[in-house]
């Protein structure tokens, strides 16, 4: 397969510039092969050396990509035999995977447009203080955006960050990934706590795009934390229920009675 070490998704997503790490790109490429049946459930994966040669990347990149797939349950290791595709149904977007909305949309093949509705700097509400572990009177930045593909609304996002994370607020670029904006400041989110439930799209977002009010929506309320456990983003993301689903792999405890 002809590709480059700079963008493994060129042939899969030709209209999207993929700035994610190579292991993440390679993991998605292998996951797609599992989903489309090129690597059916129960089949053995090529060796690290074979994958490195096929995609023209280093074996360390292959190893990290495979480790991600193992953590998600898409790939299993059998001692002395190698790696195999899980016999469980292929995961399209595991709920355990933390990624920015921009990366999520790009991985689905969407050309992401972030339309900013508002950016506010204000005192944190009681709810925001509790989630972001802020003392009374501390300032937060509230960012409200529409995430679109060719004018079609896919996700409506409200993100709240401690103002201390963005001392250069006036110079911040809100048109891209918020994760990348924080990563450039040494504040990359690495874990999150999330809740998903059915919800109605807020009226102002629906009115901005003249959407059918009967469309289903999934609200993900999420608290993103950096490596030392400090919360940096408190978000409410409304996902189009007719476009997105999130998969959850469930396992029994080893040795548990059936």
pLDDT tens column, 136-174? 999 999 999 998 887 888 899 999 999 999 888 877 888
Residues 119, 236 within the same domain: yes
Q: 63 and 163, same structural domain?
A: no
Residue pair 145/102 in contact (Cβ under 8 Å)? The answer is no
Mark out the alpha helices in the chain (DSSP H runs).
22-35, 48-55, 59-72, 101-107, 126-132, 178-183, 203-209
CATH number, domain of 77, equals 1.10.10.10
DSSP secondary structure letter of residue 12:
T
CA atoms of 118 and 31, how far apart (whole Å): 36
Q: Residues 117, 187: one domain?
A: yes
Structural domain containing residue 45: 22-85
Can you point out the beta strands (E) in the chain? Answer: 75-78, 82-85, 113-123, 139-149, 152-162, 191-199, 217-225, 231-240
Contact 81, 74 (CB under 8 A): no
Residue 142 lies in a domain: yes
**In this structure, what CATH number is given to the domain that contains residue 198?**
3.40.1410.10
255 within a domain of the structure (yes/no): no
In order of 67, 121, 147, the CA distances from 135 in angstroms are 39, 16, 31
Predicted pLDDT of residue 238: 95
Q: Is 79 in contact with 73 (CB distance < 8 Å)? A: no
Residue 35 lies in a domain: yes
- Tell me which H or E stretch contains 230: none
Confidence at residue 235, expressed as pLDDT on a 0 to 100 scale: 96
Co-location of 78 and 126 in the same domain:
no
Domain count, the chain: 2
| Cα→Cα distances 116→120, 161, 194, Å | 11, 16, 23
Same domain, yes or no: 53 and 141: no
Same domain, 69 and 159: no
115 and 186 share a domain? yes
Instruction: For tokens 């998704």, name the residue.
Output: 9
The answer to whether 26 and 63 are in contact (CB under 8 A) is no
pTM higher than the cut 0.75: no
Regarding whether 210 and 127 lie in a shared domain, the answer is: yes
**CB neighbours of 193 closer than 8 A, spacing ≥ 6?**
222, 223, 225
Instruction: Give pLDDT, residue 220.
Output: 93
**Which residues sit opposite 116 in a β-bridge?**
145
Distance CA 226, CA 133 (A): 13
Q: Do residues 146 and 81 both lie within one domain?
A: no
Mean pLDDT (10-residue bins), the chain, 258 residues: 38 46 88 81 91 94 90 81 75 62 70 89 96 96 91 91 88 85 90 93 87 87 94 95 75 58
Tally the C-alpha atoms within 13 A of residue 122's C-alpha that lie toward its C-beta. 10
* Residues 151 and 184 both lie in one domain: yes
Confidence at residue 94, expressed as pLDDT on a 0 to 100 scale:
57
**Residue written as token pair 């040494």:** 186
Confirm whether 95 is domain-assigned. Answer: no
Count Cα atoms within 13 angstroms, Cβ side, for 254: 0
* Residue 90 domain-assigned (yes or no): no
Residues 146 and 234 in one domain: yes
Instruction: Answer whether residue 52 is part of any domain.
Output: yes
The answer to whether the beta carbons of residues 236 and 158 sit under 8 Å apart is: yes
Asked whether residue 175 falls in the same domain as residue 124, the answer is yes
Q: Is the residue at 17 inside a domain?
A: no
Q: Give domain status of residue 10, yes or no.
A: no
């Amino acid at each position: 397969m002809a590709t480059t070490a700079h963008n493994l998704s060129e042939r899969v997503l030709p209209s999207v510039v993929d700035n994610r790490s190579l292991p993440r790109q390679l993991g998605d490429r292998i996951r797609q092969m599992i989903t489309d049946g090129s690597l059916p459930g129960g089949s053995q994966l090529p060796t690290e050396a074979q994958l490195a040669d096929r995609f023209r990347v280093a074996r360390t990149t292959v190893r990290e990509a495979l480790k991600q797939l193992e953590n998600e349950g898409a790939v299993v290791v059998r001692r002395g035999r190698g790696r195999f595709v899980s016999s469980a149904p292929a995961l399209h977007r595991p709920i355990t995977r933390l990624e920015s909305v921009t990366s999520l949309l790009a991985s689905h093949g969407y050309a992401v447009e972030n339309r900013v509705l508002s950016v506010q700097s204000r005192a944190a509400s009681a709810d925001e203080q509790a989630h972001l572990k802020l003392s009374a009177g501390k300032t937060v930045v509230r960012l409200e955006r529409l995430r679109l593909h060719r004018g079609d609304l896919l996700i409506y996002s409200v993100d709240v960050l401690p103002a201390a994370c963005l001392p250069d607020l006036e110079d911040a670029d809100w048109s891209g990934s918020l994760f990348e904006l924080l990563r450039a400041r040494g504040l990359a989110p690495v874990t999150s706590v999330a809740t998903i439930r059915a919800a109605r799209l807020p009226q102002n977002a629906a009115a901005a795009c003249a959407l059918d009010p009967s469309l289903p929506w999934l609200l993900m309320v999420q608290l993103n934390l950096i490596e030392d456990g400090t919360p940096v983003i408190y978000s409410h993301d409304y996902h189009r229920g007719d476009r997105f689903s999130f998969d959850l792999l469930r396992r029994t405890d080893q040795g548990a009675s059936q």
